[in-house]
Amino acid sequence: MTERSKEPGGTDAAKQGFQNPVAGFGVTFKAMFKKRLTEQYPEQPKTTAPRFHGRHQLNRHPDGLEKCVGCELCAWACPADAIYVEGADNTEEERYSPGERYGRVYQINYARCILCGLCIEACPTRALTMTNEFELADSSRANLIYTKEQLLAGLEEGMVDSPHSIFPGADEQDYYSGLVTHAAPGTIPQRAVSKGEKPDSDESGRGGVPEPSAQRPGAAHLGERSGS
């Protein structure tokens, strides 16, 4: 017998000295069969939950006019004071939304935004919603202030970029009732005078508003409704 095994508790200490490393390797061995938590971002971007609160979007009506009416309710609802809105009046020569007002300036500061979603709850026209986009980091604070041009939704089929005239025969309520489903045939974008562009002087003088006769065929379903 050796000196060591004669010590009180010597057998237990030797047993433990053998068991501990085995137990440690056991943990490693079990982990080999568990689901891996490592994500290969950004090579394999993460898919978010469908209702994930990401970057905002300013939506359009089906004919391309903007849904935002410049009411500032989203800015007042924001607990982080991250939204800045300036509303302005539409004119027949430069119309951005179907109603009286539109959002001329719209900014969201993502250095402040906590993506809580209170602003989209406050919006009365569903102009403001949130996308699933979460890649918002930037090295410059100025770049984190998103402008209306960055936030405005892209054009889908049947849309014409704002500003342009309202669908002939339609009013603002028709837009919210879903009666306007596309831009009227012949609709062309107006010149944005408020943005420093000059309206064409050699064209019809209507500031890009199509002639009423050219608009009528596209207004068939609205005409039927209003005439009933």
Give me the amino acid identity at 206. Answer: R
Least distance (Å) between residue 81 CB and ligand SF4: 8
- What are the DSSP E strand ranges found in 59-180? 83-89, 101-109, 128-130, 145-146
The response to whether 74 counts as a known ligand-binding position is yes
Question: Which residues would be at the binding site for ligand SF4 (CB under 6 A)?
Answer: 68-74, 77-78, 80, 82-83, 85, 103, 108, 113-119, 122-123, 125, 127-128
Q: How far apart are CA 96 and CA 67, in angstroms?
A: 9
The response to whether 191 counts as a known ligand-binding position is no
Q: Are 110 and 144 in contact (CB under 8 A)?
A: yes
Least distance (Å) between residue 103 CB and ligand SF4: 5
Select 77 or 145, whichever has its Cβ closest to ligand SF4.
77
Select 7 or 86, whichever has its Cβ closest to ligand SF4.
86
The response to whether 113 counts as a known ligand-binding position is yes
Q: How far apart are CA 32 and CA 22, in angstroms?
A: 15
Which residues are within 8 A (CB) of 10 and not within 5 positions of it... i.e. 6 or more apart?
A: 4
Select 94 or 210, whichever has its Cβ closest to ligand SF4.
94
Rounded to 5 degrees, φ, ψ at 104 are -75, -45
The DSSP secondary-structure symbol of 145 reads E
The response to whether 112 counts as a known ligand-binding position is no
Least distance (Å) between residue 205 CB and ligand SF4: 31
Select 97 or 190, whichever has its Cβ closest to ligand SF4.
97
List the binding residues: 68, 71, 74, 78, 113, 116, 119, 123
